[in-house]
Structure 1
Amino acid sequence: MKDRDLILMKSLIESYVREGLPIGSKALLRSSHLSVSPATIRNIMADLERQGLLLSPHTSSGRIPTTQGLRIFVDQLLQVKNLRGEVIEQVKRSLNPENEVQTLLSNASNILSDMTKMASLVQVPEKPFQRILQIEFVPLSDNRILVILVLQDNIIQNRVIQVDRAYTRDELSVMANFLNHHVSGKDLNTAREELLQQMIDEKQQLDELTRQAIILAGQGIDSQANSQNKTNSLHISGQTNLVSMASHGQIDNLERIFQAFKQKQQILNILERSMVADGVKIFIGEESGEQSFQDCSIVTAPYKLEGEPVGVLAVIGPTRMPYDKVIPIVDVTAKLLSSAITQKSSDIR
């Protein structure tokens, strides 16, 4: 595309995002400040329409951008604004590492919605990353053992497991001391994997009591992980913002979008594609691959624990959203959430 074509594209889309109306050649000539004739503007617009970048929604001569046109705008023409210092401080206050992890995730969703005036969501990690502070075993009747897991945020989880024989309190105390030495300060998945790997690597060296300790701990940790995976998988905020946008003609098929929020699988499919993204990823219209969001744009970014992605946050709004404002808000929130979660996990050790 020629430079003047790009200038016209940029001017047209900025006007469309701002006003939501088809742009005619005369209005585009005024806003673009190009020294060309109205006929030239019409010819360029017609050419951009043939390329699939613009379309005429009505019989009028005005045009609006297509998904492909918005993609070129976002990738090549958009000038992202830096967030003001006070805005960054506001996000930091909402994501205080002293809060519990679930509170941090919920706050991140709320602050995204408040700042963008759109719907927002934060994915709860599929793999639990709460760190183990302590593990204890208590003997029960009928060859059962109560496994007590003390996790960060003062969370205590109890699981009753069935064993092949009765164990004395002294035996269980020895098991617990061994496990606390090896797993304290580690997240659930890491603890389980390291214990099982140790049993494989040192099959000949481990005594029977130590092997049983690893097996019992693995059963207790598995129960806790499965329990967490049954919890709500998304924190969603600002759905009422979409109602307002729909009433102003910015979003169609609102009922379908709300149904997708309720069922969640379509959203999770989109977020899964964003998990390994290097920073912000943007789905415009049908790019999401989900029919429910074909007239929406979704701006996503992964958040990380110690540099490893564990979940995704997102803002959902109309395709004519102010990308220059939404993108930095999503980016900064993801980075500050990553920092808060990592700091909290480090403090637990």
Structure 2
Amino acid sequence: MQLDIRAQTLLKALVERYIADGQPVGSRALSKISGLELSPATIRNVMADLEEMGFVASPHTSAGRIPTPRGYRVFVDKLLTVQEISEVGLESRLQSGMLSQPPQKLIANAAQILSSLSQFAGVVMTPRTESIFQQVEFLRLSEKRILLVVVSPTGDVHNRLLLTDVDYNQGQLVHAANYLNQNFGGLSFSDARTRINNELRQLQNDMTRLMQAAVEAGSDAMDEHSDEVVISGERNLLNVQDLSSNMGSLRKLFDMFEQKNSLMQLLDVSSKATGVQIFIGGESQLVPMEEMSIVTAPYDVNGKIVGTLGVIGPTRMAYERVIPIVDITAKLLSNALSQ
């Protein structure tokens, strides 16, 4: 539905004023801030049309109006003037946090930067990489109960309990661990699984089953300990009245951070798009709260998109400032990870 220039100008002024102070905006205020030579009566007529089209709504407690999710969508897609990153004075702060460091540190820094600069929550979906092991050990706990110990190339240790059909003695377990380490150490578990299936037919059937079980369990153990999403600044959202005004909203908010399923789904969707994406609550089924928006952008390693980052905040956020923060952080993280 097309809006004429007058309606667009008034909608833009209304959204900007509402974002700034959180109060419904009346016709008299719009006549002063819009820059249009229109009477309050004319502005009321335009507002009535915008309300009928679903772009603004009238709270019961006020004669003024507030933007709806549909109004925010028109604003961010067509009416928003995004600030240049140099204008908001953030480029040097962003670059200083993206100096040469290990990947996990860079990702944690990116989440912290997004949070501190936006004053909301920063989120980064970590790169999807295959689980690689350096070595494994088997410890016999009791009959048919074995502790699997997996050591990653970075020295992280993961444990998993194996329940077996066969009672292996410690000598057999040492032999199996040595075989796995010598022949498959440094591979991903998926590669090791394929090679075990293809190459170990000459071994005893029981030992082959033990190694296959170890590979499956080891992969699960490492996946459990990998943070798929790094979140920073969740507590900032407790200071946002729009999100913390009632217990129901708070419960939805922290369910999202705790479960992470809906957040992962949203970040996964945005990784398939190019550039900055804006998900607005009440419009996108992926956002659990009507009062929440999420601004995201994908990041890459050597040209291949491997994850997504973004800012989680209220629908009433300063999009013109948050969008360039997300955009430049994604580009700087891509550059840092690709070096």
What interval of TM-score do these two structures reach, taking the shorter chain for normalisation? 0.7 to 0.9
| Alignment: residue pair count | 326
> For residues 149 and 339 of structure 1, what CA distance do their matches in structure 2 show?
32
Shift of 1:199: 5.3
CA contact (8 A) 1:100 1:153 kept: no
What is the match of residue 289 of structure 1? 285
What is the match of residue 193 of structure 2? 196
What is the match of residue 252 of structure 2? 260
CA contact (8 A) 1:256 1:292 kept: no
Per-residue deviation, residues 100-129 of structure 1 (Å, max 9, x unmatched): 62x44433322221111113334467x664
Change beyond 3 A, Cα 1:149–1:213: farther
CA contact (8 A) 2:266 2:286 kept: no
Secondary structure at the counterpart of residue 276 of structure 1: helix
What is the match of residue 243 of structure 1? 238
What is the match of residue 314 of structure 2? 318
Percent identity for Structure 1 against Structure 2: 34
Per-residue deviation, residues 49-107 of structure 1 (Å, max 9, x unmatched): 11111122246542221111111101111122232396344334334452362x44433
Instruction: Tell which deviates more after alignment, 135-144 or 109-118.
Output: 135-144
> For residues 153 and 237 of structure 1, what CA distance do their matches in structure 2 show?
24
> For residues 216 and 341 of structure 1, what CA distance do their matches in structure 2 show?
37
> For residues 96 and 308 of structure 1, what CA distance do their matches in structure 2 show?
21
- Matched letter for residue 4 of structure 1: R
State which of 65, 68, 79 in structure 2 corresponds to 1:66: 68
Secondary structure at the counterpart of residue 282 of structure 2: helix
Instruction: Tell which deviates more after alignment, 304-313 or 28-37.
Output: 304-313
Change beyond 3 A, Cα 1:312–1:224: farther
Alignment pair present for 1:87 and 2:80? no
> For residues 206 and 18 of structure 2, what CA distance do their matches in structure 1 show?
66
What is the match of residue 219 of structure 2? 225
Alignment pair present for 1:151 and 2:156? no
CA contact (8 A) 2:140 2:146 kept: yes
What is the match of residue 346 of structure 1? none
Alignment pair present for 1:208 and 2:205? no
Secondary structure at the counterpart of residue 296 of structure 2: strand
Q: How does 1:55-134 map to 2 (within 5 A)?
A: 55-58=57-60, 60-84=62-86, 87-99=90-102, 101=104, 103-123=105-125, 129=130, 131-132=132-133, 134=134
Secondary structure at the counterpart of residue 36 of structure 2: coil
Tell me the C-alpha RMSD between the 2 structures.
3.9
Secondary structure at the counterpart of residue 90 of structure 2: helix
Instruction: Tell which deviates more after alignment, 314-323 or 280-289.
Output: 280-289
CA contact (8 A) 1:12 1:23 kept: yes
> For residues 305 and 12 of structure 2, what CA distance do their matches in structure 1 show?
34
CA contact (8 A) 1:243 1:254 kept: no
> For residues 72 and 189 of structure 2, what CA distance do their matches in structure 1 show?
46
> For residues 216 and 339 of structure 1, what CA distance do their matches in structure 2 show?
43
> For residues 47 and 254 of structure 2, what CA distance do their matches in structure 1 show?
41
Instruction: Tell which deviates more after alignment, 272-281 or 139-148.
Output: 139-148
CA contact (8 A) 1:148 1:159 kept: yes
Secondary structure at the counterpart of residue 81 of structure 1: coil
Secondary structure at the counterpart of residue 261 of structure 2: helix
What is the match of residue 135 of structure 2? 135
Alignment pair present for 1:177 and 2:182? yes
Unaligned runs of 5+ residues in structure 1 are 344-349
- Matched letter for residue 259 of structure 1: R
Per-residue deviation, residues 293-349 of structure 1 (Å, max 9, x unmatched): 222222233445666655543422221100111122223333444454555xxxxxx
> For residues 252 and 170 of structure 1, what CA distance do their matches in structure 2 show?
58
Per-residue deviation, residues 165-213 of structure 1 (Å, max 9, x unmatched): 6549677655533324xxx3x5xxxx2333334456xx4x766259999
